[in-house]
Each structure stands twice: as structure tokens, then as C-alpha cells.
Homo-oligomer: A and B are copies of this chain.
Amino acid sequence: MLDPWTADAFDYDKLVKQFGIKDFEDELNKIDNPHRLMRRKVIFGQRDFDKITNLINSNKPFAVVSGMMPSGQMHIGHKMVVDQLKWYQDHGAKLSLPIADMEAYAARGISFEKGKELAVNEYLTNYIALGLDLTKDDVDVYLQSQNQVLKDLSFRASLKTNFSEMKAIYGFTNSTNLAHVNSPLMQVADILIPQVEENGGPINTVVPVGIDQDPHLRLTRDIANKLHDELGFLVPSSTYHRFLTGLTGAKMSSSKPKTAIFLNDETKDAVKKLKSAKTGGRESLQEQKEKGGQPDQCVIFEVLLYHLMDDDKELEKVKEECLNGTLLCGDCKNRTRQLLSEFMDDLHIKQEEANEIAQTLFD
């Protein structure tokens, strides 16, 4: 059972086989200037992405949906989604960015007021600071609780599914509260809302998610099919990315501060967290020089790969020098800390202006 509420470690290959997700590599070669996360196979899977590739390559309209749950602090793992959104925006996509305040309330008891505040000051501020333009006409940022078209669409969706399906997809039991049982219907509506008449009608849509969110895609695909005759909906495409490992080697989580660098961390605190991060280093200096390091088990290398080193050749060099034992963990960490320090300082400057813009988005 793949369940978006208790996501943990994944056997990605098995998941791909079990749920019929296709390898992203099938599409990679057809894309001009693919994003770093695509090139580096952080984005490893897809459903129906060929439709999106064709639209990008022929300069035709498409939409991207990416929800945020306002329930804590944004960490560097979340940056990955924003980077993808920026890439899509640069490639002509309309963005639809739901704020899942109803889910945050149902699942975490966060009031709508608090949810909105978190969305503006934490999420939207960082989305803008990380380079997204949320003021464009073809960007739709909304609060679920305030969106009546969404609620109506969720109602339409609820006509097309039943408890059996929800149980099979999400593992709900008879004692799961009904708000929780219903919450995926809001996400289905989030994914389909770019296609409603009010928003211009059917349009190809891609949803970039972590593998734990695939249940929502499977449900949405089923319901989009069932609503095709009535509303003309096209089945959404999706991509699947791996998760950045937590700094301690465990899952990165907002609720475990030591595992994550938060985008609001002071630069000095962020850099300090890197210092104690788990690396792929050997027991002794001697051993490391002989056998080389293990970049595929190194959180530092992952942070470079996901976020801090955009040049493939430079990253390749780090990997080589690690593998052949010439680059030692201390030096590598120091350089990474320097890169992180620059990134954080720059982000903090951008956050100030970004927050002013974010404050106006719901006016």
C-alpha cells in the first residue's frame, strides 16, 4: 500500500513496476535543455509525459499543478518542486498552485487562518524568492477553502468514486474520519481544475510529485476518465521524483529539525547542520585514500546533486575525485558549506521582497 500520509523509504524500481509508472529516461532525450533534476535522474518516473514533451517542443499551452500543504516550515527538500515549477514556467506552462488548507485542517488541525498565514509567509514567499513569478496572469494560486469552483468539482468527483476504491487506493478503514476519506477528492479537483470551463476548458496538465503522491494521480486518472464525457477532461500526466535524504541519513522531515535545512534557517545554523551531516566517507583517512569515498551514500553529495551544483562537469569531477580518494570529506564539506552559505545569504535577501509580493497575492 502506497499511502501519502505515512510515506517512508521506497523501493523505487519495485514501485515503478507495480504501478505502471514509466521510466523518465524514455522522454529525456526528446527534451531540449532538460532540467538538472531530469538529467540527474532525480525525476525518475512519469505517466503520459510524452504529451507534455510534444507540447513543450511545439510551443503549445499546457498546465502544471503543484499543491502545497501549509503545515510547517519549508526545507531545502521542498526547493526541488519549486525548481521544477520554474523550469515549466520558463517553458510556457500555466501554473495552478493550490494551497491545501482544508487538508492541513483535516490532517493536522491547522486553522484556515493559520494555514493562510503559513502559505503566504512561508510557502509563497519562498516560491517567489526561489525564482517563480506568481504575479503572472496565467498563474493561479488559491486556498482550497476559498475556492467554490474547486468544491463543486470535488462534489462532481465524489459522484464517480466509492468507499471501495478509496480503500483500495489509500487503505482507509471504516473508522477513518470522513473528512480524511474525502480529502483526496479535493486533490483530484486540484489536479483537474485547470481544465474546467471557467479556466478555459480541457488542457493537458502535468503534476510533478514524489512517488508517495501517486495514489492521488491514480484516483484522478480514473475520475478524469469517468468525467470525460460530461466535462471533456484530459487524463493528467505526471512525473515522479526521488526524495532528498535527511542530513542524518533518515528521512528529511519538517518535524525533525536536525534532518533538514529550513529555508528560514540563519545561514550560520544551516551551515552548522551540514557540518554534522552523514557522508559516504570511510572509517579512516587511510581507508578513504585507498578505496575512495561513496558518493551514492553521501548526503553532502546529494545536496550538491539536487541543489547546489548546477554544472554537470563540476559535479562529475567531485564524484570522480571522491571515488578515487583524492577529495576527502572535510574539504568537500567545506566547499559545500561555502556554496550553501552563498545560497542562503542570497535567498534571505530575496525573501524580503518576495514576502511583500506574497502578501498581495490574495488581495
Contacts and interface: CB of A to CB of B under 8 A. Distances in A.
B182 A162 contact: no
A178 B181 CA distance: 9
Contact of A178 (B102, B158, B174, B175): B158
B167 A178 contact: no
A176 interface: yes
Instruction: Tell me the number of copies of this protein.
Output: 2
A121 interface: no
Contact of A177 (B148, B151, B158, B173): B158
Nearest to A152: B145
A130 to B, nearest CB: 32
B179 A163 contact: no
Interface in A115-159: 145, 148, 151-152, 155, 158-159
18 contacts: A106-B155, A106-B159, A158-B177, A158-B178, A158-B182, A162-B174, A162-B175, A162-B176, A162-B177, A162-B178, A162-B181, A163-B172, A163-B176, A163-B181, A167-B174, A178-B181, A178-B182, A182-B182
Interface of A: 102, 105-106, 145, 148, 151-152, 155, 158-164, 166-167, 172-179, 181-182, 185
